[in-house]
Amino acid sequence: MKKIFILVTGVVFLSGIIFPLSALAHKVKIFAAVEGKSIDGYAYYTSSSRPKNVKIILAGPGGKVIDELISNEQGEFDTEARYRVDTLVKLDSADGHSAEWLITKEEFPADLPEYPGAGETLKDVNTGQEPSTSLAEAATGNAVSLAADTKELAALIRSELVPLQKQLAQLRAELAEQEEKKKLQDILGGIGYLIGLAGIASYIAARRRKEH
């Protein structure tokens, strides 16, 4: 028994090391971000390959479908951002995989319309979170021209922010991918748990044997 123990353990450990850890994966993930006025994103396996032509669903509050897309050959997809609302980007491939990514309301540009029928989200806007809205409102009291200026200014600021948004999106995507990389300690941890479980089982069995 001892010999085979050492042997199989050796094989287990070796195989963990021989097969390049970076190329291991099975889980599908999805990433999406707002860039300018569109939603861009892609689906990927944690092995860095990407699933092609999969169905992507954009869902608003309560799971109502806003949009349905098919990713392209590179696993990427993009669509026009329609509403300023928490949007759940879902992938549902037929082979038993699914993944989600939430784009929060705050990521959408302020001049997009609110999602129709989302009463509770409407309230948030009027609490003065949005500089453009509140500024514009204040402006109507004084002069119309000021309102127009503010709007122009807001648009200018937004356009200046686009490259930053892009960089941020890229960073977040990289971070999400990094988290999924399998680490050697995960593998060793799992093996340890299983051998440990067998150890506990052996102990219980040995005690039972003694009692008899």
* Interface residue list for another protein (CB under 8 A): 1, 3-5, 7-9, 11-12, 15-16, 19, 23-27, 45, 47, 49, 52, 92-98, 180, 182, 186-187, 189-191, 193-195, 197-199, 201-202, 205-206, 209
Distance in Å, CB of 97 to another protein, minimum: 6
CB of 19 to another protein, least distance (A): 5
- Looking at beta carbons only, is 54 or 118 nearer to another protein? 54
| Cβ 48 to another protein shortest distance, Å | 11
Q: 20 or 141: whose CB is closer to another protein?
A: 20
For the purposes of burial, counting CB atoms within 10 Å of the CB of 25, is it exposed (0-12), middle (13-18) or buried (19 or more)?
middle
Query: What element of type H or E holds 36?
Result: none
Distance of alpha carbon 163 from alpha carbon 11, whole angstroms: 50
For the bound state, the minimum distance from the C-beta of residue 99 to another protein, rounded and expressed in Å, comes to 8
Q: CA 175 to CA 108: how far, in whole Å?
A: 21
- DSSP-assigned beta bridge partners for residue 161: none
State the pairing for strand pair 76-80/65-70. Answer: unpaired
Do 56 and 88 touch, CB atoms closer than 8 A?
no
For the CB of residue 24, give the shortest distance to another protein in the complex, in Å.
4
Q: Which tokens belong to 116? A: 């129709």
The one-letter amino acid at 204: I
Nearer to another protein, 23 or 157 (CB): 23
> In Å, how far from its chain's centre is CA 178?
12
Place of tokens 């995507």: 173
Spatial CA neighbour of 31 closest among 11, 46, 14 = 46
| Nearer to another protein among residue 10 and residue 119 (C-beta) | 10
Looking at the Cβ atoms of 163 and 190, the one nearer to another protein is 190
- The count of residues in the chain is 212
Smallest gap from Cβ 170 to another protein, in A, equals 23
Cβ proximity to another protein, 90 vs 105, nearer residue: 90
